[in-house]
Structure 1
Amino acid sequence: MAASLVISAPASGVGKTTLTLALARAWRNRGLNVQCFKSGPDYIDPAFHAAATGRASVNVDSWAMDRSAVAHLVSRGGNADVVLAEGSMGLFDGVAARGVSGTGATADIAEMLGWPVVLVIDPSGQAQTAAAIAAGLRDYRAGVRLGGVVLNRVASPRHEDLVRRALNEAGIKVFGALPRHAEISLPKRHLGLVQAEEQAEIGKLIDEAARFVAEHVDLDAVLHSAGKWSPQAVANGLNVRPPGQRIALARDAAFSFVYPHMLEAWRAAGAEIVPFSPLADEVPDASADVCWLPGGYPELHAGKIAGNARFRSGLRAFAETRPVHGECGGYMVLGAGLTDADGIRHEMTGLLGLETSFAKRRMHLGYRLAELAAPMPGHKPGARLRGHEFHYSTILAQPDTPLAIVHDATGAVIAETGSRRGHATGTFFHLIAEDR
């Protein structure tokens, strides 16, 4: 049986990722096998988890996935000594309307799996009030069990003593207190953390975080508070079908994001994935029966993409006879043009008429439920697809036939319908799962 924990907090930005990576690496350094998961749709943290543990991490999401899908995904932790699920936002933060098995809140996953929660509390600008916050989180939902807290960014020994005393009086365990230590912060970008594969020094950063946390946190006490978990047999797993038998997948710094569980499900269904690099001016494999362009940061490489004539003409030739699908950044590259943050327009592949701009920034963020009006690779008309959208581009034109009727998590219809033209389709949301 594995020791199981959820790492959460009252809010975003208090150190959940840093603590998760540090604990994972510190226990790995002790010879333990550690398996991480990410609660919610954030697509960047799992790559950091993999860097810390040496094991692939996947997302588990109560809004987009049913209980059997979550159980299927976490079963990979069955041969681990420790399983850690890193939360998103605050412990109980989710959307207003319930999805497949919850609202997307970290608390849903903690209750569903029965894993105790370790809270990261940042008491900056307060003292005893931190204990009131922790106690409120402990008591808010009966099915969620608090194991204890780790204090982060503590200002001084006196500050730590005040907070510890209040937490002890509230009956809440304190596993440790981290003084301010800016050197272990991870770089940020407009969509969150810079991705792990972009950081040559990521191993050193995680090692330093592990060393720092091991000095200030009682790792044995944290493990002692963990639940004892073993995977349960499930009748069915993910409802994910591959878009083709042989999939040409764009994969480089501009096309770096696709949910790991999607690729695993494609392979498990017998599909073969053949990566290629648009930034290296490569074209989809001629023997592939479908091409998939995932999201990433094409706006940072728009000039190079526009200048890679072999890639652009090769993709257009591929799309004359076979399906091509793009998600978010990939969708933008399938469009006619992309205007970068400096206001410079770059010609894209022109398979769709989409025009987007980063010079006019507008955040698009949230869960999406799409009802397909037409087929897209791997999915039939009428399919209900659940995904997540997060980008800062503005739509200047979306002239093609809509691919789907798309709703946000409240049920409101949104303008980002996706597009279809010929064999090309695209969506702004990243696919997580199809409703059963």
Structure 2
Amino acid sequence: MTATPGLMIAAPASGTGKTTVMLGLLRAFRDGGVTVQPFKSGPDYIDPAFHRAASGRPSFNLDSWAMPQGMLDALAARGDDADLVLAEASMGLFDGVARPGATGNGASADIARLMGWPVVLVIDVSGQAQSAAATALGFSRFDPAVPVAGVILNRVASARHERLARAGMEAVGMPVFGCLPRRGDLQLSERHLGLVQAVEHSDLDARIDAYAAFLAQHVNLPALRDAARGSARTPSAAPRVAPPAQRIALARDEAFSFTYPHLLDGWRAAGAEILPFSPLADEAPDAGADLVWLPGGYPELHAERLAAADQFRAGLRAHAADRPVHGECGGYMALGEALIDAEGTPHRMAGLLGLVTSYAQRRMHLGYRRATLHGPIGTLATGTPLAGHEFHYSTIVEQPDLPLAHVTDADGNDVPDTGSWRRRVSGTFFHLIAAGQRT
């Protein structure tokens, strides 16, 4: 079948402003009557919520390291009823890990190549002019299978600056879809794991409207849409995403929100029921749930409120008496004995595991993870292979429980943070992307 035409919105590096460009394009096309399907390349659990707010459609991660081809194709098919696909890259276009995984090394270029989406490079031209063309030319020639359709020049300082930058692009035959003047007010705030979450922006819709107006004024949207392409795709049955239980109580608030959309979508498609609750509102999980799942998030920013959430803690304990509980990263920390904040103050957590973590001893943990379970996570049995990604700044102070899994990084090196389990309670520092697939 003929796939919906698409583009990969990418950049030479992080920090170029491509997320602002992506959100502006999504809203501008939507407001112009174009049904646009967003995707996010790589293991990012924050940006898809912004994409959904801008486009009105759910956004899904596409990850060449963790996802087999069938899963990628099934997720890409979510855009088959759209007029246009826009996928946002992660980091620099060709940045990935050294050893390939399921279908590639995790680079956004893999996804562009597999899906046949031409690349639009967002280039920050601060501090340069014609030299930006050398960057664009190098990216266009690095891999002939990943065509660069053109560029959007960002943070242009003046009309003269624009003329010089455009002249450089013209000299190497690189199309320029638009030039964005420098605007300090069109930025999203960030914290240590990336953008401040979409749910925390009370004025998000107005912000995205401003981005859209800005993009529509300075970018040739018809030319951009004309540049979109897509590879023909053979229809195939979507691979089943096995849920860890049939009735899943899912923590969902500003402290616990880092769950990949494709997992929840896949669990529901497999017949699972998702039952949201808010630990920050001191809500207990649904008493009829088969499993409680605490996603990652920012428990360290809400540690005092979590320590005082007695109904939440009592509900967790009651559930764990005869049914499984699992936490990922921030959710894992919340299942432990204590969380020590950045000032060194300890806060009582659920106490279902012996884990004690600290933000006073700050250290970044980042990368893909392969794991083989030593104990079950709900219906995910011992021995199940998992693929995921870890990104946090906390340090383990105590971890007295059994290791949950044998964990390695993308290069096959053992990772000491194995997760842990005690009776029916388990946790990992990595966020699950795919289960049951050997990468």
In 1, Cα distance between the equivalents of 2:228 and 2:171? 22
In 1, Cα distance between the equivalents of 2:365 and 2:241? 25
1:251 corresponds to: 252
1:128 corresponds to: 130
2:89 corresponds to: 87
Contact between 2:151 and 2:177, CA under 8 Å: does it hold in 1? yes
Contact between 1:62 and 1:105, CA under 8 Å: does it hold in 2? yes
Instruction: Note the 1:146-295 alignment, pairs <5 A.
Output: 146-228=148-230, 232-237=234-239, 239-295=240-296
CA shift at 1:240, angstroms?
2.3
Equivalent residue of 1:139, what SS? helix
Contact between 2:116 and 2:230, CA under 8 Å: does it hold in 1? no
Counterpart AA for 1:139:
R
Equivalent residue of 1:65, what SS? coil
In 2, Cα distance between the equivalents of 1:179 and 1:130? 16
Q: Which ranges in structure 2 are unaligned for 5 or more consecutive residues?
A: none
Instruction: Note the 1:21-170 alignment, pairs <5 A.
Output: 21-170=23-172
Counterpart AA for 1:276:
F
Q: Deviations over 1:147-194 (max 9, x none)?
A: 100000011111111111111111110011111011110111111001
Contact between 2:247 and 2:273, CA under 8 Å: does it hold in 1? yes
In 2, Cα distance between the equivalents of 1:112 and 1:341? 43
1:333 corresponds to: 334
Change (3 A) 1:248 1:375: same
In 1, Cα distance between the equivalents of 2:234 and 2:89? 22
Equivalent residue of 1:183, what SS? coil
CA shift at 1:229, angstroms?
5.6
Contact between 2:370 and 2:408, CA under 8 Å: does it hold in 1? yes
Q: Deviations over 1:42-90 (max 9, x none)?
A: 1100000000000000100000001111110010100111110100000
Are residue 319 (structure 1) and residue 300 (structure 2) matched? Answer: no
Equivalent residue of 2:24, what SS? helix
CA shift at 1:376, angstroms?
1.5
Counterpart AA for 1:29:
D
Contact between 1:78 and 1:231, CA under 8 Å: does it hold in 2? no
In 2, Cα distance between the equivalents of 1:234 and 1:199? 39
Q: Percent identity?
A: 60
Contact between 2:130 and 2:168, CA under 8 Å: does it hold in 1? yes
CA shift at 1:398, angstroms?
1.3
Counterpart AA for 1:149:
V
Contact between 1:77 and 1:231, CA under 8 Å: does it hold in 2? no
Q: Deviations over 1:204-258 (max 9, x none)?
A: 1111011011111111111111115665412442x52111111111111111121
In 2, Cα distance between the equivalents of 1:215 and 1:287? 53
Instruction: Note the 1:397-436 alignment, pairs <5 A.
Output: 397-434=398-435, 435=437
In 2, Cα distance between the equivalents of 1:289 and 1:387? 23
Counterpart AA for 1:26:
A
In 1, Cα distance between the equivalents of 2:209 and 2:245? 40
In 1, Cα distance between the equivalents of 2:198 and 2:233? 28
Q: Deviations over 1:4-54 (max 9, x none)?
A: 100001000101111111111101111111110000001100000000000
CA shift at 1:393, angstroms?
0.7
In 2, Cα distance between the equivalents of 1:355 and 1:332? 7
Equivalent residue of 2:22, what SS? helix
What's the TM-score, normalizing by structure 2? 0.97
What's the TM-score, normalizing by structure 1? 0.98
Contact between 1:74 and 1:231, CA under 8 Å: does it hold in 2? no
Contact between 2:74 and 2:237, CA under 8 Å: does it hold in 1? no
In 2, Cα distance between the equivalents of 1:147 and 1:247? 44
Counterpart AA for 2:362:
R
Counterpart AA for 1:411:
G
Q: How many residues align?
A: 435
Counterpart AA for 2:193:
L
Query: Which portions of structure 1, spanning 4 or more consecutive aligned residues, are displaced by more than 4 angstroms?
Result: 228-231
In 2, Cα distance between the equivalents of 1:350 and 1:430? 21
Equivalent residue of 1:182, what SS? coil
Equivalent residue of 1:227, what SS? coil
Contact between 2:54 and 2:205, CA under 8 Å: does it hold in 1? yes
